[in-house]
Amino acid sequence: MELTKELFKDIIDYRLSEPWAMGPARTIEFLKRTGESFEIDYGQEETSWEKVKENFEEMNRCIFNGPMKNEVASSNTIIIGMSENEENAYTKIRPGWKHFYLDFGNHLVVKNEYFLEFRDIFKNVENIDRTFDWVKIIHKTDFFKRIDFIEKEFHTLMEKDEELMKHIEEIKKQPDYQRKMSKAKEKGMREVCQLLEDEYGIKTTEYDLGQWTLRWLLFRS
């Protein structure tokens, strides 16, 4: 297979297995927005790791070595990525992507836009099935029929979240904000929502505020 920049156009997700991973070792399987997928052996000269990085910018400066720093997992295998320093103990991926560690040297990396959807799809799926059958599992859902909606919904939510954060940053500057918020938090999220609405004109619910916090931690922090 000849690797070209065109081949890697519209990649939304990929499964990478480290050289000595259990299962499909030394391979990367890519999934495109169209639903097409292809797999390569990055140990072969024609499809080497260096050639993958030349043609797929999103692989540059990645490290694949067990879990990411804040993930809980059991495996600690070898590095196949590049690093500018000696802190190579953990997997590192590019901004704009999220990581599922599948144990035993296997990784699933998905673009931010689709992370929440994939998290739901794989919620009750064993890691071994995610490793070998992840593309089939996705195709069994209506993901590709809904992909335009999923993208639009994600970007709309990100825009609303950004506006809310700007609003909150402004009200934080007001006198007594911290005191009032600390007092409200002692009574629970319902009291926090009531404070935001009564004092600052931000109307929200406990659920929406929780979802906003989750998205901010996942995609902005």
The predicted model scores a pTM of 0.84
Mean pLDDT to the nearest integer, 54-83: 71
- Residues 15 and 29: their CA atoms lie apart, in Å, by 5
Distances (CA, A) of 205 to 54, 124, 181, 202: 47, 28, 16, 10
> One-letter amino acid identity for 134?
W
- Residues 164 and 166: their CA atoms lie apart, in Å, by 5
Residues 6+ apart with CB under 8 A from 9: 32
- Residues 119 and 215: their CA atoms lie apart, in Å, by 13
In DSSP terms, 9 is beta-bridged to: none
Tokens 């590095």 belong to residue: 79
- Residues 47 and 122: their CA atoms lie apart, in Å, by 29
> One-letter amino acid identity for 100?
F
Q: Are 108 and 100 in contact (CB under 8 A)?
A: yes
- Residues 189 and 210: their CA atoms lie apart, in Å, by 9
pLDDT given for residue 77 in this prediction = 40
The domain segmentation of the chain, as residue ranges, is 11-139, 147-219
Mean pLDDT to the nearest integer, 79-101: 73
pLDDT given for residue 144 in this prediction = 98
- 21-46 pLDDT, tens digit per residue, is 888 889 999 999 999 999 999 999 99
- Residues 191 and 80: their CA atoms lie apart, in Å, by 49
Q: How confident is the model at residue 88 (pLDDT cuts 50, 70, 90)?
A: low
